Amino acid sequence: MSSDRRYPIALARTRNRTVDALAGVSRVERALWTLVGVALVADLATTYYGLRLGLRESNPVARTAMQRFGFGAMVGLKLLAVGVGVGCRRLLAGRPGLIVPAALAVPWLAAALVNLTLYAMAA
């Protein structure tokens, strides 16, 4: 551990910035961003499992990225999409931004459901 006395001050400043950033976000929007995280994990997990079963990724960009760089490329693409979504949400500062997390969560949840349906049909 560091004996630097500035550490607690820096931590408090970071915490204050995070709280300030979330101050203008509604409870519904926070729930939608949580749903984005759940959808991201569900899509990644069901995709990984499907690939292990011998199924093929239908998205040509993701398929090519995974062929070249492995499954980590899919994780990177998802995180890039979240980053773009957060950037777009920041552009909407002061306005309701429910569309941004919804636009991420809905397709990823749909993809996870399609993947689960494919597993049921393959069984």
pLDDT band for 43, please (50, 70, 90 cuts): very high
Does residue 115 lie within any of the structural domains? Answer: yes
Model-level pTM? Answer: 0.78
Residue 80: which H helix or E strand, with range? helix 72-91
Q: Is residue 91 part of a domain?
A: yes
Question: Do the domain assignments include residue 59?
Answer: yes
In this structure, is residue 16 part of a structural domain? no
Domain count, the chain: 1
- Per the domain annotation, does 44 fall within a domain? yes
- Name the band, by pLDDT with cuts 50, 70 and 90, for residue 58: very high
Element (H, E) at 31: helix 27-53
Question: Which residues form the domain of 50?
Answer: 26-122
Neighbours of 105 (CB within 10 A): 22
Confirm whether 99 is domain-assigned: yes
